[in-house]
Every structure is written in structure tokens, then in C-alpha cells.
Amino acid sequence: MESGSQVIVPAYTFVASTLAAVHQGAEVVFCDVDSRTYNLDASKLERLINEYTAAIMAVHGHGQPADMEAITAVARRHDVPVVEDNSQAHGIRYLDLVTGSIGNAAGASLNQSKNLPAREGGLFTTNDEEHVTTVRRMVLYGEDVLGPRSRKRGNKVTERWGDLTSDGLRR
Ligand SMILES: Cc1ncc(COP(=O)(O)O)c(C=O)c1O
């Protein structure tokens, strides 16, 4: 993230949501929450967005989906990406979607206190191929390493890292 970048985070969330932004060297800008849902209040978002805003983080707190329709509408108007913190809302539906699949990317904790626990670890989800490549490199020391079921046809590589886990479980 560029120096001076800001990430808008709901004023009520677990501290780790903010630390993700701090870890990237960003300044955290707190946005007030809705008094009924305790999630990000989209009506208070717009006035916090400026030229330094690098992302809006929507947290789905306590299994309650944030108002993604309103949040993404504001974000689109300002061309700001939305990152979902889906740590407390695995498998939660929002309209005809599932949380963690609505913004540009999402993170979800799998620690032992979560509804979907794996003792530790987490999930990253996105529909953006570029983010997929970046994140794969991040977890593999910058290397482009193919998964066990990746295929190369001509110049095109079909990567199947997702299958690593599901295959492992099936066997
Ligand atoms: C909303 C939220 N974000 C992030 C985290 C951090 O997850 P982890 O402990 O896996 O880093 C948690 C839980 O710990 C959480 O509840």
C-alpha cells in the first residue's frame, strides 16, 4: 500500500480487522456503525472517502451480514475496493449471495473460536485472478509454484490449488 493510504474500518469490530490495515502500513479511519446491526453504517461512509482511501473493510459481525448493497454502491461511486472480513460469518447468506463473495476480496479467520474452526489458519476469497496470483505468491515466498493438479496446455496453465485441500480430505 502506498504511504499515506487509508482503510475505512467499522468502529465496532474485533481488533484484528484494523490490524490487517495497520500491518500494511495504512492509516485506519473508523466509520460509525448502524445502531441496529452494529455493522458499518453505509450512510456515514461517503464523507470519510478521500484521495487516500485505499479500501473499505466491511465486517460481517456476529454472523450478521453488513449492508453490502449500500456499501458497494458507495464504493463503486468512488472506485474504492471493498474487502470483507468474513471471520464471523462463514456461510452466511446476503440476498442471493454468500458473504465473502460480494466485495473485491475477503478474508476469513478459521481460528478455534470461529463457527468454522480449524484451530488456526484462514481463508482468502476473491473473483479477481490478479489477486489470486498475488496471494499465491505471498504464501509461497514469491514463487509461482503449480499445485499438484495444475495442468499446462501450450502456454496456458490451469491451476488447481483449491483441489489440494478437498482432495486431501476425500482420500
Ligand atoms: C472479525 C474478525 N476479524 C479477524 C479475526 C482474526 O482472525 P485470526 O485470529 O485468525 O487472525 C477475528 C478473530 O480472531 C475476527 O473475529
Ligand 1 centre to CA of 162 (Å) is 22
pLDDT at 165 (0 to 100): 47
The residue whose CA is least distant from atom 11 of ligand 1 is 109
Residue 77, φ and ψ in degrees, nearest 5: -60, -30
Q: Which amino acid is at 51?
A: E
pTM to 2 decimals?
0.86
Q: Which residues have CB under 8 Å from 11's CB, separation 6+?
A: 30, 31, 32, 33
Specify the ligand 1 atom closest to the Cα of 59: 1
The residue whose CA is least distant from atom 10 of ligand 1 is 109
Q: Which CATH class is domain 6-127?
A: alpha beta
The residue whose CA is least distant from atom 5 of ligand 1 is 16
Confidence check: pLDDT of 86 > 60: yes
Alpha-helical regions (H) of 9-155: 15-23, 68-78, 129-139
Ligand 1 centre to CA of 16 (Å) is 5
Taking residues 18-24, report their average pLDDT: 95
Ordered by start, the domain boundaries in the chain are: 6-127
pLDDT at 148 (0 to 100): 61
Query: Is 88's C-beta closer than 6 angstroms to any atom of ligand 1?
Result: yes
Q: Under a CB-based contact definition with an 8 Å cutoff, are residues 3 and 25 in contact?
A: yes
Q: What integer best gives the mean pLDDT of the chain?
A: 89
What separation in angstroms does the CA of 28 have from each of 75, 115, 126, 130, 134?
17, 27, 22, 25, 23
More confident residue, 79 or 167: 79
Query: Is 38's C-beta closer than 6 angstroms to any atom of ligand 1?
Result: no
pLDDT at 141 (0 to 100): 87
The residue whose CA is least distant from atom 7 of ligand 1 is 109
pLDDT, tens digit, for every residue of 92-131? 999 999 999 999 999 999 999 999 999 999 999 999 999 9
Q: Under a CB-based contact definition with an 8 Å cutoff, are residues 63 and 89 in contact?
A: yes
